[in-house]
Amino acid sequence: MEELSKNRIKYIRQLSQKKFRKKEKRYIAEGAKIIEDLIDGKHPIEMIYASEEAYLQLQAKAKDNNIEIIAISEASIEKVSQLTTASNAIAVIPFKEQFFCIEELNHKIAIALDNIQDPGNLGTIIRIADWFGIDHILCSKDTVDVHNIKVIQATMGAIARVEVHYLDLEEVLPHAHDANIPVYGTFLEGENIYNEKLSSNGIIVMGNEGKGISPKIESLITNKITIPSFRQDKGSESLNVAMATSIICSEFKRR
């Protein structure tokens, strides 16, 4: 069992900063379960530091995939873990090259996120996408960073199976128009989603937690929809964006 060197501890800790991740093109995922999912998803893991227990769990799979794995002390893990309760394993992972071309959406659905700020919400939305077999999430450039450890952990491993792209939505959505791909967005005055004909392909845009979809993106929405509230009197003003995403994806996919 090894101890981590001071330099290595410093390096891993610095990966908690977005700026440093961008420079190094690497991020951290924690916990044997997520790391296993990432290996299964052929993510290019560079190195795994594991507690004795997690080492036994991950060792065979890591070796099969030529991934270096080292057992380190719990004390060393605690020094580098970004979680309140330290996990049992830490992986250093180079960014994966991902490609997205709009023609994929001739037969598929993608989710677009306009300035989602809460890491838990982004993580949960990735998990929802995974459940409903949605392969791509298109994030506006001001959306919270997917490689933030809180996002990675909130995906519960779904990050291994869903591709998350950072794009200028104002540039991308007109390409969807050109290709006759519908662009859906939720607005209070939209059509009732339960009665609306929903296509089997398209982009579903979800807006910022407080401000909703921004005016610039709104002008690029082709189909406005809404989830009606069942309260007659004054009730909830809005559903949380992750809950709304789960209901909308369920509506699109069940048909």
* 47-50/163-167 β-pairing: unpaired
Q: Which is nearer to a second copy, 98 or 194 (CB)?
A: 194
Q: How many residues bind a second copy (CB under 8 A)?
A: 31
Considering the rule CB under 8 A, would residue 107 count as an interface residue with a second copy? no
Q: Pick from 85, 99, 171, 230: which binds a second copy (CB under 8 A)? A: 230
Considering the rule CB under 8 A, would residue 157 count as an interface residue with a second copy? yes
| 49 Ramachandran zone, left/alpha/beta (phi>0; psi -120 to 50) | beta
Considering the rule CB under 8 A, would residue 246 count as an interface residue with a second copy? yes
Q: Pick from 69, 74, 236, 241: which binds a second copy (CB under 8 A)? A: 236
Window of 5-13, 64-72, 181-189, 241-249 that interacts with a second copy by CB under 8 A: 241-249
Closest CA to 167 of 107, 247, 226, 101: 101
Considering the rule CB under 8 A, would residue 239 count as an interface residue with a second copy? yes
Residue type, 206: M
Q: Give the span between the Cα atoms of 112 and 204, in whole angstroms.
A: 6
Considering the rule CB under 8 A, would residue 210 count as an interface residue with a second copy? no
Strand order in the sheet with 202-207: 163-167, 136-140, 109-114, 202-207, 183-192, 223-226
* 26-30/202-207 β-pairing: unpaired
Considering the rule CB under 8 A, would residue 253 count as an interface residue with a second copy? yes
Read out DSSP for 145-206?
PTTSHHHHHHTTTGGGT-EEEEE-HHHHHHHHHHTT--EEEEEEEEEETTTS---SSEEEEE
> Least distance to a second copy from the beta carbon of 230, Å?
4
Q: Pick from 47, 102, 156, 167: which binds a second copy (CB under 8 A)? A: 156
Considering the rule CB under 8 A, would residue 187 count as an interface residue with a second copy? no
Q: Which residues bind a second copy (CB under 8 A)?
A: 40, 124, 127-128, 130-133, 156-158, 161, 194, 227, 229-232, 234-236, 239-240, 242-243, 246-247, 250-251, 253-254
